[in-house]
């Protein structure tokens, strides 16, 4: 399209605003000056920009996942399961974005990464507090992780609160109990700062839900939304592990973790174990 054609098309749009001296612009609303000035390379290497942007974008998606999951938890507490379904569906769709981000990062070769890896010092994605908040709201609690954030009392307090609060699966189990299913009192009254371990009464309840879908339609939908979230989270973990293996092999991570070894271990963890176990028994 020629410049003249573009100019003519623009002139035909009579209602387009062009005077923003005293009005808010798109850039103002999104605070783009701040956002786009936040990619500060510590080296002169071309590919460090990719590394920074991928991680910053992923943090933004994690923020949305936390926002939607916490809202879903509150909706389930109020027995507003329909609202929670929309929020959890949005979580699953958001997870596809951070899964695909690994495909972009994997264009970074080992030789390219080594050109600026030493500039990271001990900074590592292992220290992402938003990733830990995602784990906490999904019910995976690890106390030693809190030590990483002691230097920031405000942030530590946010994580501490989430650490002791019921996670998404806890409120789903409570919903089962409110709907007449016989859930072990020790599960309902458990210490939420401990990672959930599977329970026979919970498995029995979910099995009943799946065997009598029409009588338990909303709980069945809730269960499937939880499976969607966990399935996507495991895909994200797997792509993370394979991308790290592709770029640094089995080197120790910059944050001191075993790198690929650590990432392989967490692949074996399930947030909602009974929902996977019952698939064999239905």
- Residue 54 assigned to a binding site: yes
- Residue 16 assigned to a binding site: no
CA gap 157, 170 in Å, rounded: 21
- Residue 192 assigned to a binding site: no
- Residue 156 assigned to a binding site: no
Burial class (CB in 10 A: 0-12, 13-18, 19+), 265: exposed
- Residue 5 assigned to a binding site: no
Q: What is the DSSP letter of 13?
A: -
CA gap 174, 218 in Å, rounded: 14
DSSP letters of 100-125?
HHHHHHTTS-HHHHHTTGGGGTT--G
H helix intervals, the chain: 3-12, 26-30, 32-36, 48-77, 81-105, 110-114, 129-138, 153-164, 168-178, 185-188, 200-211, 217-248, 260-266, 273-281
- Residue 52 assigned to a binding site: yes
- Residue 25 assigned to a binding site: no
CA gap 126, 145 in Å, rounded: 9
CA distances for 181 relative to 13, 131, 196, angstroms = 61, 33, 19
Q: Whats the size of the chain, residue-wise?
A: 282
Residue with tokens 């307090």: 157
CA gap 207, 220 in Å, rounded: 10
- Residue 51 assigned to a binding site: yes
- Residue 254 assigned to a binding site: yes
Residues annotated within the binding site for substrate are 51-55, 113, 117, 254
Residues annotated within the binding site for heme are 240
Residues annotated within the binding site are 51-55, 113, 117, 240, 254
């Amino acid at each position: 399209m020629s410049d003249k054609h573009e100019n003519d098309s623009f002139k035909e749009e009579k209602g387009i605003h062009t005077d923003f001296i005293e009005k808010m612009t798109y850039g103002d609303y999104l605070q783009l000056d701040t956002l786009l000035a936040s990619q500060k390379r510590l080296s002169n290497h071309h590919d460090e920009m990719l590394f920074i942007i991928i991680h910053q974008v992923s943090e933004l998606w994690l923020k949305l996942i936390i926002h939607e999951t916490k809202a879903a938890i509150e909706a389930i507490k109020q027995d507003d399961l329909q609202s929670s379904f929309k929020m959890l569906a949005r979580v699953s769709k958001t997870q596809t974005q951070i899964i695909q981000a690994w495909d972009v990062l994997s264009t970074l070769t080992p030789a390219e990464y080594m050109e600026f890896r030493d500039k990271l010092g001990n900074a590592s994605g292992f220290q992402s507090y938003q990733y830990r908040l995602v784990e906490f709201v999904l019910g995976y609690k690890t106390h030693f992780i809190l030590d990483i954030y002691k230097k920031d009392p405000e942030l530590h307090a946010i994580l501490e609160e989430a650490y002791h609060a019921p996670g998404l699966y806890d409120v789903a189990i409570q919903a089962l109990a409110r709907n007449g299913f016989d859930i072990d009192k020790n599960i309902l009254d458990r210490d939420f700062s401990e990672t959930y371990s599977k329970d026979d009464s919970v498995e029995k309840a979910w099995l009943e839900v799946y065997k009598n879908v029409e009588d338990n339609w909303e709980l069945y939908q809730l269960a499937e939304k939880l499976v969607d979230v966990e399935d996507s989270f495991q895909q994200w973990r797997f792509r993370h592990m394979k991308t790290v293996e592709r770029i640094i092999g089995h080197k120790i991570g910059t944050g001191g973790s075993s790198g690929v070894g650590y990432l392989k271990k967490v692949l074996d963890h399930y947030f909602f174990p009974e929902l996977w176990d019952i698939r064999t028994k239905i």
